[in-house]
Structure 1
Amino acid sequence: MANIKSAIKRVNTSEKRRAQNAAFKSDLRTAIKTFNTKAEQKDVDGAKQAFLLATKKIDKAANKGIIHKNAANRQKSRLQVTLNEVTA
């Protein structure tokens, strides 16, 4: 454990951020899984709503630096391909 006051503060800050990022990532994964289940069930309207929510969460994660912007674009692209297959 750190002895210096600023190092102790950094440890606390890092732990808070780690917890927030983990919660946000978990929520993001849940949104993507929800979309995938709607798409597998061929629920077009539900899939569209879930797609909008998932892309919103992906963009927010990319803006916050939780995931890389290229990874975010790749995930959104894959979700869009899946949505196009469901709606076709």
Structure 2
Amino acid sequence: MAHTRSALKKIRQAERRRRRNQMIRSRVKTLIKKARALIEAGRLEQAGLAVGNAVSALDKAAEKGVLHRNNAARRKSRLVRRYNNAFRSAPPAA
């Protein structure tokens, strides 16, 4: 265990950051899962909004340093590609 005041403070800061990062990562995962579920269900309107929310959360996580920017870019690319492939072949609603 740390003895100096500065080391104790660093431990407190690290724990605070760990909890914040965990919360952000969990939120990103949840939004991606929701978007993928709506895409699989074929619900175009809701899926579009969910994909937008997930992309926004990924951008924010990368901006805060929770995720590496390339990791966020890869996840966004895969999600949007899945969305586009699912609804490209869908007939237009009449």
Q: Which runs of 5+ in 1 are unaligned?
A: none
Q: Which runs of 5+ in 2 are unaligned?
A: 89-94
Report the counterpart of residue 76 of structure 1 in structure 2. Answer: 76
Report the counterpart of residue 50 of structure 1 in structure 2. Answer: 50
How many aligned residue pairs are there?
88
- CA RMSD, Structure 1 to Structure 2 (Å): 0.6
TM-score by length of 1: 0.97
Report the counterpart of residue 30 of structure 1 in structure 2. Answer: 30
User: Is the radius of gyration larger for structure 1 or structure 2?
Assistant: 2
Report the secondary structure of 1:14's partner residue: helix
TM-score by length of 2: 0.91
CA distance in 1, matches of 2:62, 2:23: 15
1:44, 1:86 within 8 Å by CA — same for their partners in 2?
Answer: no
Alignment pair present for 1:63 and 2:41: no
Letter of the 1:49 counterpart? L
